[in-house]
Amino acid sequence: MAKQNKAYKFRVYPTDEQALMIRKTFGCVRFVYNKMLAERKETYEKLKDDKEALKNLKHPTPAKYKKEFAWLKEVDSLALANAQLNVDKAYKAFFKGNAKFPKFKSKRHRQSYTTNVVNGNIQLLDGHIKLPKLKMVKIKKHREIPSEYKIKSCTLSMTSSGKYYISILTEYEKEIESKEIEKVVGLDFAMDGLFVDSKGEKANYPKFYRQMLEKLAKEQRKLSRKKKGSANWNKQRIRVAKTQEKVANQRNNFLHHKSKELVSNFDAVVIEDLDMKGMSQALKFGKSVADNGWGMFTSFLQYKLKEQGKQLVKIDKWFPSTKTCSNCGSVKEIELSERTYQCACGLNIDRDYNSALNIKKEGIRLLATA
């Protein structure tokens, strides 16, 4: 039987005392993370030309700091152990060439910590969750976790407007049979909206979401006119944070809805393997590409498809999906300003629709050769 994972996120309502402990843990985790990173950075600088020595290094553990900084003992030790794992992970990714050199965490980073299940220290009960160092924390469980799902770890986080959430990672055993692939759809990433599919349909963000974005921009403008640090500025800052959270929630709901729809209608979804970061820099679109939610959308697609034995096919980012005629296969240059693809063969369709058709075709070709 293959092991599967699923995460559930719920709002929690800690008491003042519990909230204080949670925030203290955020701080301790950040402290330990930065300490370990600083030490490793130092040894890295010293030994960076000696690959063998780097490989065999003994790395610092949280225990080392507990002696020097006794207050670290007050918080959940599993959370500190996870900070160590995160430093390790960041380093490994760096050495593999998948990431930049790890950065120090500041207070402006997302505030969170992760703790693990050991000997029944975490238990989900009616209306409450038992957590290390916190005991019973009130939880709003808006959906049930099947009883055969085992809790592996929990991540507590706080939003900038001061709401607390818990993400519960579970594990369960399930044999997933691969679906026979009959229905395939290709998606072309779209700057405005989310994508255009190979039927020519656009996935546009709903109107209320675009209205909320306008509201956010308005609130941010108001904030910029207030005197930094003043009482009014602070009030406005919280208003901005709350609007940002609403925007993020609405976007998440939309992305969940769209990915679910695709997964129920198709056996395979084909997308281009875009490097969003590189793309947003290259195209100087900056924020809007990142805010578009494409990365999150594809990760939702990935796990939802996998759960049903279906496939996400990623095609090479150099595949000329825009330049190719989806009808006759000839390739030509096309300007960004040209909204339709016109070909000597007689094809005359929306450029994104043409791309989506090419992406679908390429996906089918890859599936056939796999």
Name the one range near Zn ion by CB under 5 A: 18-26, 238-246, 259-267, 347-355: 347-355
Nearest to Zn ion of 167, 327 (CB atom): 327
Among 327, 342, 350, 367, binds Zn ion (CB under 5 A): 327
Residues with catalytic function: 188, 272, 352
CB 170 within 8 A of CB 9: no
Q: In terms of Cα–Cα distance, which of 119, 53, 64 is closest to 87?
A: 64
- The count of other CB atoms within 10 Å of the CB of residue 292 is 22
Q: Which is nearer to Zn ion, 254 or 341 (CB)?
A: 341
Tell the smallest beta-carbon distance from residue 353 to Zn ion (Å).
14
Chain positions 27 to 66 lying near Zn ion, rule: CB under 5 A, are: none
Burial of 126 (0-12, 13-18, 19+ CB in 10 A): exposed
Kindly calculate the radius of gyration of the chain based on its CA atoms and give it in whole angstroms.
Answer: 24
Rounded-to-integer distance, Cα 22 and Cα 111, Å = 10
Q: For the chain, what is the largest distance between any 2 Cα atoms, rounded to a whole number of angstroms?
A: 76
For the sheet with 164-173, list strands across it: 111-116, 150-158, 164-173, 3-13, 135-140, 128-131, 123-124
Per-residue DSSP letter, 70: G
147: tokens are: 């009883």
Q: Which stretch binds Zn ion (CB under 5 A): 50-58, 100-108, 110-118, 324-332?
A: 324-332
For the bound state, the minimum distance from the C-beta of residue 362 to Zn ion, rounded and expressed in Å, comes to 16
In whole angstroms, how close is the CB of 323 to Zn ion at the nearest point?
11
Least distance (Å) between residue 239 CB and Zn ion:
53
Cα 105 to the chain's mean position, in Å?
A: 18
Q: Name which of 4 and 342 has its Cβ closer to Zn ion.
A: 342
Which two three-digit tokens encode residue 4? Answer: 């599967």
Q: Least separation, in Å, of the C-beta of 344 and Zn ion? A: 6
Q: Which of 93, 283, 328, 331 binds Zn ion (CB under 5 A)?
A: 328
| Closest CB to Zn ion among residues 176, 328 | 328
Q: Does residue 345 interact with Zn ion by CB under 5 A?
A: yes
**Residues in Cβ contact with 313 at an 8 Å cutoff, skipping those fewer than 6 apart:** 268, 269, 270, 271, 363, 366, 367
- Window contacting Zn ion (CB under 5 A); options: 18-26, 222-230, 280-288, 344-352: 344-352
Task: Name which of 137 and 325 has its Cβ closer to Zn ion.
Answer: 325
343 sits near Zn ion (criterion: CB under 5 A): yes
Is residue 145 within 8 Å of residue 168, measured between CB atoms?
yes
- At closest approach, how far in Å is the CB of 326 from Zn ion? 8
Region near Zn ion per CB under 5 A, out of 93-101, 118-126, 129-137, 322-330? 322-330
The piece of 116-124, 177-185, 340-348, 358-366 that touches Zn ion (CB under 5 A) is: 340-348
In 3D, which of 273, 259, 255 has the Cα closest to residue 185?
A: 259
Nearer to Zn ion, 210 or 323 (CB): 323
**Nearer CB in complex with Zn ion: 20/345:** 345
| Closest approach of Zn ion to the CB of residue 347, in Å | 5
Give the DSSP letter string of 157-211: EE-TTS-EEEEEEEEEE---PPPP---EEEEEE-SSSSEEETTS-EEPPPHHHHH
CA distance 249 to 194: 16
# residues near Zn ion by CB under 5 A: 6
Q: With binding defined as CB under 5 A, does residue 325 bind Zn ion? A: yes
Question: In the complex, which residues of this chain contact Zn ion (CB under 5 A)?
Answer: 325, 327-328, 343, 345, 347
